[in-house]
């Protein structure tokens, strides 16, 4: 079920009313309702893959129980490995089998021993990369004694499949989300209103910014040779906004929806395009995944301790693995490696933490230096997005070669050029709101805080009508494919 | 909680009312198909693809037929003969009408299909479009169409700016630049496109059977006339490559279901096309006039 669909608009109020009016007396009933609702939500896409979630949840639930019953290091390690093996096994089979098979075949062919790659006709289960990482974090944290394992199967299964963040995150940590299933949730007007506000903002990002940008991005990346370099540049910039609007919009809707049920999910995006360097960008982009890799891969590898060589190795590992997490394609690996290259000078010069505070804190405008730093970071990020979006490395390089041609000085040649202008105005308006709200959790969290209530509602009404009038064609979220 | 429910419900109600109001404003300029899904059920219909949608004017035909006929033609992607179009026609048709007139336009594309097996109706693309999914073709506003099938941003409904307009009688009027360079360029584009399509398309016996079935059902509601509309000779040559014995097939069909057939490719009139396939409005008027005269003689 898509958040931006009529189905969800019907589903959500039904679950909300049942949750607060029918099952509100009993925490277990509430959790059970969430579990059923989450499974219905997932089954709406394809009920057959529910078995994967159930199996993955069951394995980690039993691993948790097993870990609680033994202190023996070897046995605990074996249990942890079982969790990792099952979860990564699912991921490897459904997501990476064909990639590895083809890559091996290509490599052998290159070495003069050609053979046919065996391909499986596999459907990638939606959200598999998200929920497997979430369940693994539970087993790892229990193994590290950071978390007490739970015996409450309903709560645990609900935690794994919690529908607001099931298919595209934020990838929650068991330490944050699981305990919330054990606490009684009380309805709070202000939290619920805040949730609705964040949902509205998320829908704006997804339907107005991302879905409209998608039209031009698809044109530019499908047939780059048909367009002038200026059009291709617009295509890349629009992709930067498409992926941000799409993914952060999803996260906003997820966080807002969870808040309606009394849950707090972690922040996933924090105005990444206002970053002054790539290190800051990565602290603000897909925070739940970056911190997951930091805590479970980077730090165990040694992090930024040790020799320069180790630091370089660790940075490359973390970025390449992160890129590979996004998809079974060399483009994602290249995208990850490119970001590692961007990051390395900052790390080696120990300048990777120079921008911790939000830009232009307590000021209306950034300084000229900050402005140019933001612009430069945005440009290099856009350049990397070309690899992320292209279907293959050769397509990415073709796109780049066409981009750096003299037609960059020609007028863009998209057929619906007036739509490009309208969309640009919408993006500028969007950026202004984001800039104004950059010190809050999401752009309109405190927008018009001091306004009288009717005026606030006029603003929300205008926003809703902009979504209605300018909303692009209903499209699946990009991160569903990861 | 009460306060939350009250405020959120009121807000949702205001939004839904606004959306409904905007949908009510949608007209023939908002979308090339929408208006045809909102008008009342009809007893006389013009059926076919975009050639008929643009080429046959009910306004010109009505005096000859002495009744109001409605143009319920769409495009070759939406309304080739098949289960989806037949079901849509049945939904649009006044159930108890007996004295209707039905002009069924045919061409090789409307009885052909792409895909591995052109006879496998599960592969017919139009079934997934509004033609196969819409439950009503006579509701105003047609909320289901608007929510699931409207192909543009809804702001277009209010902007009232378009290069085409569907009239109240279903006729689709288009406003393309008609200077010779533009027309030549569009014809060249269509020739190239249709030649490319030849590789994927084949005659579909299933669609042919559906054409027959459609005629038989329509016969129980009135008189049926089979018509082939004219196209540019270069386009006609491509169509002949797709289905060389098209005329024989349609002649045989017309005979087997006992309906008259007019092939306007044989007309002496010189017609103007906007792109080689679709008649320009002046020629649409001439064709409709010629067809009206022919029907009144039957």
B261 lies in some domain:
yes
Q: For the segment B170-215, what is each residue's pLDDT rounded down to a tens digit?
A: 999 999 999 999 999 999 999 999 999 999 999 999 999 999 999 9
Please tell me the least confidently modeled range out of A1-10, A436-445, B2-11.
A1-10
Closest by alpha carbon to A414, among A235, A211, A268? A235
Q: What's the whole-number average pLDDT of chain A?
A: 91
B67, with CB counted inside 10 A (0-12, 13-18, 19+), is middle
Return the minimum-mean-pLDDT range out of A33-37, B115-119, B260-264. B115-119
CA distance A15 to A11: 6
B21 within a domain of the structure (yes/no): no
Identify the pLDDT of residue A157. Answer: 95
- Residue B225 has φ and ψ, to the nearest 5°, of -125, 130
DSSP for residue B172: E
What's the pLDDT tens digit per position in A165-196? 988 779 999 999 999 999 999 999 999 999 99
A73 is catalytic: no
Cβ contact, residue pair A471, B154, below 8 Å: yes
User: Can you give the pTM of this predicted structure?
Assistant: 0.87
How far from A355 is each of A344, A358, A361, B198, CA to CA, in Å? 16, 8, 11, 60
Position A210 pLDDT exceeds 80: yes
Given this model, what pLDDT does residue A467 score? Answer: 95
Tokens at A141, concatenated: 């944290």
Is some CB atom of chain A closer than 8 A to the CB atom of B159?
A: no
| pLDDT value at B5 more than 80 | yes
Q: Hey, is the C-beta of B282 within 8 angstroms of any chain A C-beta?
A: no
What would the pLDDT profile of B71-86 be if each residue is shown by its tens digit?
999 999 999 999 999 9
- What is the maximum alpha-carbon separation in chain A? 74
Q: Give me the pLDDT at residue B38, please.
A: 95
Domain borders along chain A are 6-184, 191-276+355-481
The model's confidence at residue A95, banded by pLDDT at 50, 70 and 90, is confident
Q: How far apart are CA A331 and CA B285, in angstroms?
A: 56
- Residues A165 and A130 sit within 8 Å (Cβ to Cβ): yes
Residues composing chain A: 482
- Give me the residue from B1, B3, B18 closest to A20, CB to CB: B1
Smallest Cβ–Cβ distance between A189 and the set B3, B15, B19 belongs to B3
Shortest CA gap B41–chain A (Å): 28
In a domain, B108, yes or no: yes
In chain B, residues with a C-beta closer than 8 Å to the C-beta of A464 are 15
Measure the CA–CA gap between B131 and B154, rounded to whole angstroms: 21
In the set A73, A286, A326, A355, the catalytic residue is A326
The pLDDT of residue B188:
93
Contacts of A418 in chain B (CB under 8 A): none
> How far is residue B226's CA from residue B12's CA, in Å, rounded to a whole number?
50
Q: Which residues pair with B173 in a beta bridge?
A: B165
pLDDT above 90 as % of chain B = 85
Residue B221 lies inside a defined structural domain of this protein? yes
pLDDT digits (tens, 9 = 90+) for A347-370: 888 888 899 889 888 889 999 999
pLDDT confidence of residue A256:
97
pLDDT at A103: 80
In chain A, the N- to C-terminal Cα span, in Å, equals: 16
- Domain CATH for B280: 3.40.50.1110
Domain count across chain B = 1
Q: Which residues contact B271 (CB under 8 A, 6 or more apart)?
A: B230, B279, B280, B283, B286, B287
**Residue A476: pLDDT band with limits 50, 70, 90:** low
Residue A245 predicted with pLDDT over 90 = yes
Expressed in angstroms, the distance from the first to the final Cα of chain B is 72
Any domain includes B185: yes
**A225 with A399: CB under 8 angstroms?**
no
pLDDT at residue A472 above 80? no
pLDDT of residue A101: 79
The answer to whether residue B20 is domain-embedded is no
Residue A383 clears pLDDT 90, i.e. is over it: yes
Neighboring chain B residues of A6 at a CB cutoff of 8 Å: 147
Domain residues for B176? 26-297
- pLDDT for A474: 64
Spell out which chain A residues touch chain B, with contact meaning CB-CB distance below 8 angstroms: 6, 20, 187, 189, 192-193, 196, 212, 457, 460-461, 464-465, 468-473
Cβ pair B15:A468 closer than 8 A? yes
Structure confidence by residue, pLDDT tens digits, B152-171? 889 999 987 888 999 999 99
What angle in degrees, to the nearest 10, is found between the helix axes of B233-242 and B246-257? 80
Q: Tell me, yes or no, whether B11 lies in a domain.
A: no
**Contact between residue A481 and residue A124 where contact means Cβ atoms under 8 Å apart:** yes
Over residues A405-417, the pLDDT tens digits come to 999 998 888 888 8
């Amino acid at each position: 079920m898509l958040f931006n669909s009529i189905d969800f608009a019907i589903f959500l109020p039904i679950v909300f009313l049942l949750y607060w009016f029918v099952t509100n007396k009993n925490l277990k009933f509430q959790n059970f309702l969430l579990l059923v609702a989450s499974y219905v939500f997932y089954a709406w896409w394809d009920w057959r893959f529910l078995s994967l979630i159930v199996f993955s949840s069951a394995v980690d639930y039993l691993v948790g129980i097993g870990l609680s019953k033994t202190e023996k290091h070897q046995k605990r390690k074996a249990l942890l490995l079982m969790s990792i093996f099952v979860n990564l096994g699912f991921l490897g089979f459904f997501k990476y089998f064909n990639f590895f098979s083809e890559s091996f075949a290509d490599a052998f062919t290159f070495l003069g021993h050609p053979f046919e790659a065996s391909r499986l006709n596999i459907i990638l289960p939606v959200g598999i990369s998200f929920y497997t990482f979430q369940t693994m974090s539970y087993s790892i944290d229990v193994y590290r004694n950071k978390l007490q394992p739970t015996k409450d199967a309903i709560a645990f299964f609900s935690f794994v499949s919690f529908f607001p963040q099931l298919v595209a995150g934020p990838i929650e940590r068991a330490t944050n989300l699981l305990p919330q299933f054990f606490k009684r949730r009380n309805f709070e007007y202000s939290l619920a209103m805040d949730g609705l506000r964040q949902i509205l903002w998320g829908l704006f990002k997804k339907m107005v910014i991302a879905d409209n940008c998608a039209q031009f991005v698809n044109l530019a990346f499908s047939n780059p040779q048909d367009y002038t370099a200026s059009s291709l540049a617009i295509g890349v910039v629009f992709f930067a906004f498409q992926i941000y609007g799409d993914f952060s919009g999803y996260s906003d809707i997820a966080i807002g929806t969870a808040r309606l049920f009394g849950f707090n999910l972690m922040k996933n995006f924090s105005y990444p395009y206002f970053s002054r360097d790539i290190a800051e960008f990565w602290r603000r982009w897909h925070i739940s995944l970056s911190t997951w890799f930091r805590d479970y891969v980077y730090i165990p590898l040694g992090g930024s301790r040790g020799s320069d060589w180790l630091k370089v190795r660790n940075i490359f590992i973390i970025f390449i693995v992160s890129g590979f997490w996004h998809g079974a394609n060399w483009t994602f690996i290249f995208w990850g490696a490119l970001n590692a290259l961007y990051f390395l000078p900052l790390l080696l010069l120990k300048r990777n933490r120079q921008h911790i505070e939000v830009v232009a804190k307590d000021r209306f405008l950034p300084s000229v230096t900050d402005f140019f730093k933001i612009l430069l970071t945005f440009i290099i990020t856009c350049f990397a997005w070309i690899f992320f979006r292209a279907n293959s490395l050769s397509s990415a390089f073709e796109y780049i070669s066409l981009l750096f041609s003299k037609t960059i000085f020609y007028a863009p040649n998209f057929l619906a050029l007036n739509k490009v202008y309208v969309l640009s105005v919408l993006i500028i308006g969007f950026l202004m709101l984001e800039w104004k709200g950059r010190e809050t959790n999401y752009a309109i969290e405190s927008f018009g805080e001091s306004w009288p209530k009717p005026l606030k509602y006029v603003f929300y009404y205008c926003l809703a009508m902009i979504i209605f009038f300018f909303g692009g064609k209903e499209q699946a979220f990009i991160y569903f494919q990861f | 909680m009460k306060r939350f429910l009250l405020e959120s419900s009121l807000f949702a109600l205001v939004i839904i009312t606004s959306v409904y109001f905007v949908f009510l404003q949608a007209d023939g300029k908002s979308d090339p198909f929408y208006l045809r899904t909102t008008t009342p059920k009809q007893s006389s219909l013009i059926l076919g693809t975009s050639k008929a949608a643009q080429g046959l004017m009910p306004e010109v035909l009505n005096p000859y037929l002495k009744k109001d006929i409605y143009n319920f033609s769409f495009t070759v992607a939406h309304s080739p003969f098949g289960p989806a179009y037949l079901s849509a026609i049945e939904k649009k048709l006044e159930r108890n009408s007996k004295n209707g007139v039905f002009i069924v336009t045919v061409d090789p594309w409307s009885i052909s299909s792409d895909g591995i097996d052109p006879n496998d109706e599960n592969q017919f693309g139009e079934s997934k479009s509004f033609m196969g999914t819409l439950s009503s073709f006579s509701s105003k506003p047609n909320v289901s169409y608007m929510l699931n099938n409207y192909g543009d941003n809804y702001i277009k409904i209010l902007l009232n700016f378009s290069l085409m307009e569907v009239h109240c009688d279903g006729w689709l009027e288009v406003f393309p630049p008609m200077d010779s360079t533009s027309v030549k360029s569009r014809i060249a584009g269509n020739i190239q496109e249709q030649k490319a399509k030849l590789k994927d398309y084949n005659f579909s016996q299933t669609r042919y059977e559906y054409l027959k079935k459609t005629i038989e059902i329509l016969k129980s509601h009135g008189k049926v006339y089979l018509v082939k509309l004219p196209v540019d000779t270069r386009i006609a040559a491509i169509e002949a490559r797709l289905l060389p014995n098209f005329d024989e097939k349609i002649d045989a069909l017309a005979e087997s279901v006992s309906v008259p057939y007019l092939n306007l490719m044989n007309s002496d009139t010189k017609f103007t096309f906007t792109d080689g396939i679709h008649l320009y409005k002046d020629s649409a008027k001439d064709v409709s006039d010629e067809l009206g005269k022919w029907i009144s003689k039957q």
